[in-house]
Structure 1
Amino acid sequence: MGSSVEKRSATEIRIVLKINEGKKVLIKTIRFEGNKAFSDRRLKKAMETSERWIFSWLTGAGTYKEEVLKNDANLISDLYFNDGYINVKVGEPAVRVLDDKSGLEVLIGITEGDQYKVGTLGFKGDMLDSQESFSKMLKIKSGEVFNRSTLRTDVFTLTDFYADKGYAFANITPLTKVNPEAKIIDITFDMEKGEKVYIDRINISGNTKTRDKVIRRELKFAEGDLYGSTPLKRSKQNLMNLGFFEEANLVTAKGSADNKLDLNVDVKEKATGTFSIGAGYSSLDGIIGQGSVQEANFLGLGLRLRFRLPLAPKPRPTMWD
């Protein structure tokens, strides 16, 4: 890189920087130290960063991006956490230029720790069902290898169960007790149901063509109904199944009271009409064809209209002509 200085006036100068970028240096090798549970190949598969290859110019493989590489350390940690290694430590990736200047080398150090299994499972707090029923809802099982992703899914499952009974602000907290000697984790789900919540107002936007009533009849809610997580998901699916919208977003917002929620329905409409025309030629009938117009959302009422216009052939002469 070079530079030059040009005096433009008594109080002003111009600095010109000349930059020679040179050849782009790609990641040639990714190495790991300390990994036993997972092979290098498995760890690389979990990462977004990859090594260069013959088609790197097309795919971008081997490109070094600092923030992406730092996030790769988190992705590797998740891989271990989901296989029972709750004390895993993944070091910050170290990057250096290879001695022969042929590329970059990435080195990631890993301290795995011990693998843990699930011990006892329990429930406490605001119980809306029996412990046996709650246990059947869980994917995580006693005696199996601990999986943080599965635990997170189970928290969502229990939260939805409470939400379907109107407790939109239920808080499910998994309390863990680690036993290093036995290599097990006991988990107790602490249930806090909060207050029942009702739908206050339903606000619809984005529908430039479709009538509000067409959208409302697909919703599993009416104003004043008890809130429910499953009806909310089904309402969105019903709207998408109509085929009128590219997107349908249902978002709740604070209503007129602490135990009320507004439901904001925002849709993005798509074209619902089609036009087609076909033609052919017959030595007997001459030109034959047909045109048709279809509209799946006629007048925005959700009605289906189909109109066909045949192109009549030239009348054939008869013996009486």
Structure 2
Amino acid sequence: MRRAAAGTLAFAMSLAAPCPARAQAGEGTVVDTVIVSGASRLPATTVLTLAGVLTGRSISYRDVQRAIHTLYGTGQYEDIRVSQGTVDGREALRFDLIERPMLARWTLRGATAVSEGSVRGKARLYEGQPYDPAAAARTRATIDSIYRQKGYYLARVDLRELPQDDGSLRVVFDVDEGRRVAIAQVEVEGNRRFSDEQVTDRLKTGPEGFFWFQKGEYKEDQLETDLRERLPEFYGNRGFVDFQVVRDTLLVHEETGKATLVLEIDEGEQYRVGTFEIVGNRKYPTQFLGQYYPFSDTTGGGFLGFGGSRGPPVFDRARWDEATQNVRTFYYNNGYIYAEVRPVLTRRTGPDGVNLVDLRWQVGEGTPAIVNKVSIRGNTITHEDVIRRSILMVPGDVFRQEALLRSYQTVSNLGFFEQPLPPPRYEPANEQGDVDVVFEVKERHTGNVNFGASLGQGTGVG
């Protein structure tokens, strides 16, 4: 790249020096001929077309810059040099190209925990194409990342480029897997309400122990699930709605392969349930939907006078999410498949200094969907009437998700089709929000029936 830049600079100087008047006007040099050297894979005419360089036209410094940039962008060239001169009294522009070698093959050596196929599925290093050193470096990083995900933090990946007699290149990624990291200890920082043991018991990522199942294996995807789902769920179900993992650090001893996992967390404040309301509902009364409210059995005040006298309960994220989903399901089962039930939490401090979270279901009901058409596809042997008798919805019915699921189960239980059946689909039928329902089936071959006949003395057929 540096040689190409030098060639461009020399070209620019030659453009500016001969004719001050032309330089002042901002024009380049009119090139009479263009010479391309070193192009064996692409014809010279193709190179010039890509470069955008035409004879008989004025070519400036910026034109050459663009040409070099475009040619490098093809991935074909390792180096490009451009120079200007005079040939037989004519202005000439010369492109000297050094092509990248073709990548004949690349392989993975020394790997037992990772297959070459899994690497090829993620790598962007293509055989039979010009060799891209940057792509090879990215592939090396990909291999390293795969090993880290499997807990091999001590793995080392080296890249070797092997020139071949025909000018092509072979690439080998040599892997020294090292020891798989085993977690010896998990430390928790920032926990005030729960002990280290209470926190770490919620993790699937744990230290090695006495029992055979306590291997202490480190898996990156498993730890990510621990930190994104299991810990927030544990705290959220106990009122800590602002809980977050601030940082996770893995300290690995290179000689032993033992590691310490350090988790820094911010528990936040614990919240109790405050008020509750439902807004936006028109079809179903607030009193009716309030039956799904999950904290009415424990709160002294709150919603519609429900509850006992023990004071506001600790907020439980799992119960709140389950109740919200139950309301959605109720709407879906009554034709309101476009209904939205959005849970809203508003934090505040009560008069006695208690942290409260006011709850609300923001409902957008929409209009109920009507079944416009029920289609059955894929039944090449079974009569359509047999299948339709198992479908618990007909055109004109209000679409109910529960009826759709029961129909799916009934059709599956006929025993005529390959299992599992694809889930039935429903698609918008018109602007009013009605739906077309589609059941896809594939006939199952249950065996062959053979008809035989033999010749006898009596009737002739027996």
Question: Structure 2-normalised TM-score?
Answer: 0.51
Deviation for aligned residue 1:240: 4.4
Closer, same or farther in 2 for the Cα pair 1:101/1:219, shift >3 Å?
same
In structure 2, what is the equivalent of residue 163 of structure 1?
332
Deviation for aligned residue 1:155: 2.0
Matched, 1:247 2:420: yes
The structure whose RCO (Cα within 8 Å, separation 6+) is larger is 1
Deviation for aligned residue 1:131: 2.3
Closer, same or farther in 2 for the Cα pair 1:13/1:167, shift >3 Å?
closer
Q: What is the rounded CA distance, in whole Å, between the counterparts of 2:214 and 2:383 in structure 1?
A: 47
Aligned residues of 1:175 and 1:189 also touching (Cα < 8 A) = yes
Greater Cα radius of gyration, structure 1 or 2: 2
In structure 1, what is the equivalent of residue 251 of structure 2?
96
What SS does structure 1 have at the residue aligned with 2:164?
strand
Q: Aligned ranges for residues 21-170 of structure 1 at < 5 Å?
A: 21-52=177-208, 61-75=215-229, 76-98=231-253, 101-141=256-296, 142=299, 143-170=312-339
Deviation for aligned residue 1:48: 3.6
Closer, same or farther in 2 for the Cα pair 1:102/1:203, shift >3 Å?
same
Deviation for aligned residue 1:88: 1.1
For residues 203-230 of structure 1, the C-alpha deviation after alignment (integer angstroms, 9 at most, x for no partner) is 2245555443233222221022111233
Q: What is the rounded CA distance, in whole Å, between the counterparts of 1:118 and 1:251 in structure 2?
A: 39
Aligned residues of 1:53 and 1:61 also touching (Cα < 8 A) = yes
In structure 2, what is the equivalent of residue 312 of structure 1?
none
In structure 2, what is the equivalent of residue 311 of structure 1?
none
Question: What is the one-letter code of the residue matched to 2:236?
Answer: F
What SS does structure 1 have at the residue aligned with 2:387?
helix
In structure 2, what is the equivalent of residue 262 of structure 1?
436
Closer, same or farther in 2 for the Cα pair 1:6/1:119, shift >3 Å?
closer
Q: State how many pairs are aligned.
A: 271
Q: What is the rounded CA distance, in whole Å, between the counterparts of 1:38 and 1:213 in structure 2?
A: 61
Deviation for aligned residue 1:127: 2.6
Question: What is the one-letter code of the residue matched to 1:260?
Answer: D
Aligned residues of 2:180 and 2:257 also touching (Cα < 8 A) = no
Q: Which stretch has the larger CA shift, 168-177 or 99-108?
A: 99-108
2:403 aligned to which of 226, 231, 242? 231
Q: Which structure 2 residue ranges, 5 or more long, are not aligned?
A: 1-155, 300-311, 448-462
Aligned residues of 2:185 and 2:207 also touching (Cα < 8 A) = yes
In structure 2, what is the equivalent of residue 280 of structure 1?
none
Closer, same or farther in 2 for the Cα pair 1:53/1:139, shift >3 Å?
same
In structure 2, what is the equivalent of residue 194 of structure 1?
366
For residues 7-27 of structure 1, the C-alpha deviation after alignment (integer angstroms, 9 at most, x for no partner) is 434855555554332332222
What SS does structure 2 have at the residue aligned with 1:92?
strand
Deviation for aligned residue 1:267: 4.3
Closer, same or farther in 2 for the Cα pair 1:46/1:129, shift >3 Å?
same
What SS does structure 1 have at the residue aligned with 2:341?
strand
Q: What is the rounded CA distance, in whole Å, between the counterparts of 2:406 and 2:318 in structure 1?
A: 25
Q: What is the rounded CA distance, in whole Å, between the counterparts of 1:53 and 1:269 in structure 2?
A: 52
What SS does structure 2 have at the residue aligned with 1:106?
strand
Q: What is the rounded CA distance, in whole Å, between the counterparts of 2:165 and 2:446 in structure 1?
A: 65
Closer, same or farther in 2 for the Cα pair 1:271/1:95, shift >3 Å?
farther
Q: What is the rounded CA distance, in whole Å, between the counterparts of 1:50 and 1:209 in structure 2?
A: 55
For residues 1-44 of structure 1, the C-alpha deviation after alignment (integer angstroms, 9 at most, x for no partner) is 77766543485555555433233222222222223444444433
Deviation for aligned residue 1:169: 0.5
Aligned residues of 1:27 and 1:106 also touching (Cα < 8 A) = yes
Aligned residues of 2:247 and 2:265 also touching (Cα < 8 A) = no
Q: What is the rounded CA distance, in whole Å, between the counterparts of 2:187 and 2:370 in structure 1?
A: 55
Deviation for aligned residue 1:108: 0.9
Q: Which structure has more helix as a fraction of its residues?
A: 2
Q: What is the rounded CA distance, in whole Å, between the counterparts of 2:376 and 2:202 in structure 1?
A: 41
Q: What is the rounded CA distance, in whole Å, between the counterparts of 1:19 and 1:53 in structure 2?
A: 30
Q: Aligned ranges for residues 287-306 of structure 1 at < 5 Å?
A: none
Deviation for aligned residue 1:252: 1.7
What SS does structure 1 have at the residue aligned with 2:367?
coil
Q: Which structure 1 residue ranges, 5 or more long, are not aligned?
A: 274-321
Question: What is the one-letter code of the residue matched to 2:408?
Answer: K
Q: Which stretch has the larger CA shift, 251-260 or 189-198?
A: 251-260
The CA RMSD measured in Å over matched residues stands at 3.2
Q: What is the rounded CA distance, in whole Å, between the counterparts of 1:62 and 1:185 in structure 2?
A: 39
Closer, same or farther in 2 for the Cα pair 1:15/1:99, shift >3 Å?
closer
Q: What is the rounded CA distance, in whole Å, between the counterparts of 1:209 and 1:31 in structure 2?
A: 63
Q: What is the rounded CA distance, in whole Å, between the counterparts of 2:331 and 2:241 in structure 1?
A: 29
Aligned residues of 1:218 and 1:235 also touching (Cα < 8 A) = yes
Q: Which structure has more strand as a fraction of its residues?
A: 1
Q: What is the rounded CA distance, in whole Å, between the counterparts of 1:96 and 1:129 in structure 2?
A: 56
Deviation for aligned residue 1:174: 2.1
For residues 72-124 of structure 1, the C-alpha deviation after alignment (integer angstroms, 9 at most, x for no partner) is 21121122112210111212321111376241211111111221121122112
